[in-house]
Amino acid sequence: MTQNIGKLMKQAQQMQAKMMQMQEELGNRTVESSAGGGMVTAVVSGKYELISLRIERNVVDPDDIDMLQDLVVAAVNEGIRKAQEMTREEMSKLTGGLNIPGLI
C-alpha cells in the first residue's frame, strides 16, 4: 500500500512539472483576432495579456468613437477567448481529456 502511495505521489509530481512547463510554453504563444472585417486586430498571449492592437487608419472617425471602442472591445475579447481555448486544448492533451476544475 505504501508503495502505491509513493508511486501515485511521483506521478502527481511529474504531472505538476509537465503542467508548469506547458503553462510556460503557452505564455510564449499568441493568438490573433479581429473585428470589423479586420479593421481592428488584437494579439493576445497564452497568459491572456494583450500583446498588440492594430487599428486601420480609415476606421478612426472622430464623429463615431463609439464604433471604434466597440471594435476594440470585440477584438480583445475574442483574442482572450481564443487564448483560453488554446490553453484548454493543450491542457486536455496533458490530462488525457479530464476536465480538472481550477486548472485554467
**pLDDT tens digits along 37-71:** 999 999 999 999 999 999 999 999 999 999 999 99
For the chain, what are the domain ranges?
Answer: 2-95
- Model pTM? 0.76
Q: What pLDDT is attached to residue 51? A: 96
| CA 39 to mean position of chain CA atoms | 22
Mean pLDDT of the chain: 88
Q: What pLDDT is attached to residue 57? A: 95
Q: What is the CATH number of domain 2-95?
A: 3.30.1310.10
4 three-class SS: helix
The residue among 27 and 41 whose pLDDT is bigger is 41
